[in-house]
Structures are given as structure tokens and as C-alpha cells.
Amino acid sequence: MRALVIIATAALAIGCSKPNEAGEKTPEAADKKATAPTPKAAEPPPASATVPAATKSMFAALPAGEVANPKNPVTEEKIALGRMLYYDTRFSKNHDLSCNSCHDLARWGVDAEATSPGHKKQRGDRNSPTVYNAAGHIAQFWDGREPDVEAQAKGPVLNPVEMAMPDEGRVLETIKSMPEYVAAFQKAFPDDAEPVTYDNFGKAIGAFERRLLTPGRFDAFLKGDDDALTDAEKKGLNLFVSTGCTTCHTGAYLGGHMYQKAGLVKPWPNEKDIGRAKVTGNDAEKFFFKVPSLRNIAKTGPYFHDGSVASLPEAVKMMAEYQLGKQLGDEDTQAIVTFLEALTGELPTDYIAKPELPASTDQTPKPDPN
């Protein structure tokens, strides 16, 4: 620092030199050009912007194409059928809700509500998570009560608070009332003696969801393109790791692969929902929930199982405090948020375009608002 002050003082003195009375420059002025500093070479990025190989190895790029399920091979026929079923409101009791109502594919697979409105505007007690990349998770729903997206797709349709169809029979009656749907089921499940089943309803939607992947710059970075992330994003990634976020958020989905207790080191502010213990009956799993994926997290708020936090920076601070026992300042919080924003991928706009749906017939059940 002292050397810099001396240099600056010398430069100031040189800059103030004047010609003498004869018009000749003083020696100090003559030397000015000779002593001018040469342009500096480009400096290497700071160490904080260099991501170690060990850090990269904690993550993985998203699968190419689809998340496979040997029990439900993905075919174009299943996808075409599943896409129609996903958007069709006639599989709700009052014909006013579809899968897309709560998991809007044009809005990153969510509805931006803390909890979603269902039949007769009823609301459940949990936030609707995004369907993008969900097929790769360990299980479905916050409490992991269903093993895969095929099983998950059947749940909301019969839930009285959600789409409220009275039973599987009404779903099948609705399908069979439209010849185009019957033909689509036959194409999608050609080896089945009876293609129109509720299990196949779930399989078709599941096949469609298995290609709802959103690769982006982070995947390019993991595959070797170091310039895919900015220095600020790399710094945020390093801080994400050093803070301890990778205790739960690793792998291709940065989550979705394990269960964890909400309030691991400090009791969670809201303990009304006992989480996975409600499914398993095991008190040791009270307040455990499936760890959410951080893919597209900047687009999928509000956050947590109850949708209680709208701000991503606030969510980051809460995770540090209640899960890791750390207090993050604003600067570190923003650095991590900058990295999380880099996890936003690309929506498959052509793939998610709403299809033309089969026409109703006289046999199609009518809407029921009751």
C-alpha cells in the first residue's frame, strides 16, 4: 500500500510540471513519457471463480431425451395420449381443472400459488411442486407416498380436494365416451386386451412427463464448457458447496433423491405438517420431506412444502439457519442466489404445446359443481 502511495505522489508531481521560460521542458516532464505505465496483461479470474473438479463431481448433467422406466417404456403413441390427458379438464368433476392447472407447463410446471385451488376452490395444505425433471426423483409428492410419475398422475384426479372425480369408473366412462380417446389408448397400448384402464391412464401421462426435462447452461458447464457459467455464478457455486448446501442438494437434479427433516438443527417455524411420518407411521420420520430439486428454482416459488416463503433469498437464508445452523449475510446469500439462477434451463416449447383434444359426445359426463 505504501508503494502505491509513493507511485501516485510521484505521478502527481510529474503531471504538474511546466515548461521553463525558454519553452523547454523540465527533465521531469521529459521523462514523463518514458515512465508512463505499460498496459497490464489480462488478469486471471479470481480463485473463487475456479470450480474444483471435486465440486463438479457432486453433480451430473440431466439425462438425454427422457428418464426411462422399464415398466413403462416411452413411445410416441403414449406421449401423444398422455399430452392430451394432461391438458384435458374433463377428467375433473366440474370440468374446470386439469393436470396443467396446478402444474402449468408454460410457467415452469407450477401455478405460483402457496397451495393450489382445487374443486370448489378448496385448497390442500401443501405446495404443488414442478413436474419438470420430477420423473428422475426417488419418489413423488412431498411425502414420497407414490413411487413414480405414473402412480402420481392417478392421485389428484380422485382426490376430493383436487380434481374430485368420484372414482376410477367415472374416469373410464369419460374416456370411453369419446371414440378418439379409445383409439388413442389402443394405439398406445396395442398389446393389452383392454387398453382403456386407469393404470394405463397413469402410464400415458407418466410417459409424457418423462421427457419434461430442462437442460441448460449448468449442464453445458458440467460437460466441460467452463464459459457456460459466469465468474459470479461460479463463485456462488463454490459458496453453495462450502456453506454445506450439498448435504442434500447434489446429483443431476440437485435434490429429489433423498428425504430430510425440515428443521434439522433448529426446529422448523411451522410443524403442523408431520410429513413422511403421516405415510409411514414412523415417529422417527416426523417432519421429513422429500428434498426438492433446485432445477429452475428461481422460477418455481413460493418455496417449501407449505409454500410459505415467496422470496428465494429468504428461502436460502432459512435453509442455512434451520438446516445447517448458519447465519448468511446478504452478500453471501446473493452469491448463492446468483448460482441458483444459473440452474434455470430451457422449456421444451414445442413438446408442451397444448394439443387438440377429442370432442365430447352425448355420452360424455357433464360438469358437476357439487
Active site residue 77: no
What's the half-sphere exposure (Cβ side, CA atoms, 13 Å) at 24? 3
The full length of the chain comes to 370
Considering 43, 150, 162, 346, which one is annotated as catalytic? 162
Query: Which amino acid appears at position 201 of this protein?
Result: F
CB 78 within 8 A of CB 208: yes
3-state secondary structure the chain: CHHHHHHHHHHHHHHCCCCCCCCCCCHHHHCHHHHCCCCCCCCCCCHHHCCCHHHHCCECCCCCCCCCCCCCCCCHHHHHHHHHHHHCHHHCCCCCCCHHHHCCHHHCCCCCCCCCECHHHCECCCCCCCCCCHHHCCCECCCCCECCHHHHCCHHHHCCCCCCCCCHHHHHHHHHCCHHHHHHHHHHCCCCCCCCCHHHHHHHHHHHHCCCCCCEHHHHHHCCCHHHCCHHHHHHHHHHHHHCHHHCCCECCCCCCCEEECCCCCCCCCCCCCECHHHHCCHHHCCEEECCCCCCHHHCCCECCCCCECCHHHHHHHHHHHHHCCCCCHHHHHHHHHHHHCCCECCCCCCCCCCCCCCCCCCCCCCCCC
Strand partners for 249 = none
Which residues are part of the catalytic machinery? 162
